Amino acid sequence: MASALRSRGYHVLLGLDRDFAGMQHDLQAFDEMSEGAQVRVLYFAGHGFEFDNANYLLPVDSPANVAELSRLDVRVNALRLDALTWELEQGAETLIAIIDACRVLPSRGAAQGLTMAAEQAPKGTIIAYATSPGQVAMDSLRSYGVEEDHSPYTYYLASALVSAENVTWDQALMSASNIVVQQTGGEQKPWMNTQVNAFPKIGQELSKASARKPGSIDVMGFGVSPSRAAAGAFWARESIAAERLERDGNTSDDDLMDRARQGDSRAAVALASRWWDTPDRKAALTGLLEPAAERGHAMAQIDLGSHLYRSRAKDSQGRSANYWWQLASAQGVGEARAKLAMSNPSESLNAEEYARGLMETFEAFQSQMPSATNKPSEGDD
């Protein structure tokens, strides 16, 4: 997250595994260094809970199990979130508080315990939670088969922040939210509370052809940033799953349609693939894909854009192919990035953008292939 924010021009004060005194020291330093800023961003990852109708953030040196803390213990050993956001908002035009806190205790991802409650944002403040009030926020993607220890929310929000298509904070937050909901099967639904007239720009604009950074994956001379590669890998897995569902002979078109009507975006994409080359079904594709695309499913966004482009049409709200491809590209999908470049051949750098989109697509699907080290050698039986 620190790296993603720096890439957008933010001055970052990083504190790791801080005790209560350390948290207070960091916040005082942050308040001083960012006085008068247009946008302040407070990011917290750790434990949080609601107590006496207020939310609190815990340091690493909490003196006891949270359930055993007295009212006095809580007030002198934890940070009260509403007081913190009110104070920090005073020194900036806009405060963005990103809280990736477990909302169940004593351990992140547990099924029982004290939770964080909904909280009214002060004027000029955006509070973005990793999950909805009273719900679970998972702390590791390994629970979903992804070899990363980062939480889903932080991982995909960092990806959204380094996507050049995301210009304002609402775009980045919604992009991350869409992937988290899909990745967790709806078990974790990020939530926001805002008191702003308009969402501010994230920061300095990223060049779509920016230089590679340390840690980038180098494919044929083009760099794929780790965070953008992470989002691309997720959607590659989703694309493969939709293709398998499309080919499943035991699942009829009617079954897929019923599932799509109930909000199953993968089923909508699978059914659209079956109908893609059927002339009498083309008119129904927009109605099938548009709800899934609006729910943030990047594969539905790509397919809807492709359908509109080939049909030279717009969706029910008058939105074009490029609109949907931009949303999908903002979620780290290289295929959408390449399609955008192809649809705007007169713009500068589009040849390179097209190549970068292809390389991101290659890397995303390559990451889903079995490791070469797991394949039998020529001498194996």
Taken in order of first residue, the domains within the chain and their CATH numbers are 2-194 (3.40.50.1460), 217-366 (1.25.40)
Q: Which residues, given as ranges, of the chain have pLDDT below 50?
A: 104-113, 208-221, 372-381
What pLDDT is attached to residue 343? 85
pLDDT value, residue 206: 64
* 47 within 8 A of 102, measured Cβ to Cβ: yes
Closest by CA position to 183, among listed 137, 216, 226, 215: 137
Q: How far apart are CA 203 and CA 35, in angstroms?
A: 17
Q: What is the pLDDT of residue 316?
A: 94
> What tens digit of pLDDT does each residue of 254-290 get?
999 999 999 999 999 999 999 999 989 988 999 999 9
Q: How far is CA 289 from CA 181, 271, 294, in A?
A: 18, 9, 9
Q: Are 296 and 174 in contact (CB under 8 A)?
A: yes
pTM flag (> 0.75): no
Q: What local confidence, expressed as pLDDT, does residue 372 receive?
A: 38
Residue 166 and residue 69: Cα distance in Å, rounded? 42
**How do beta strands 125-129 and 92-102 pair?**
parallel
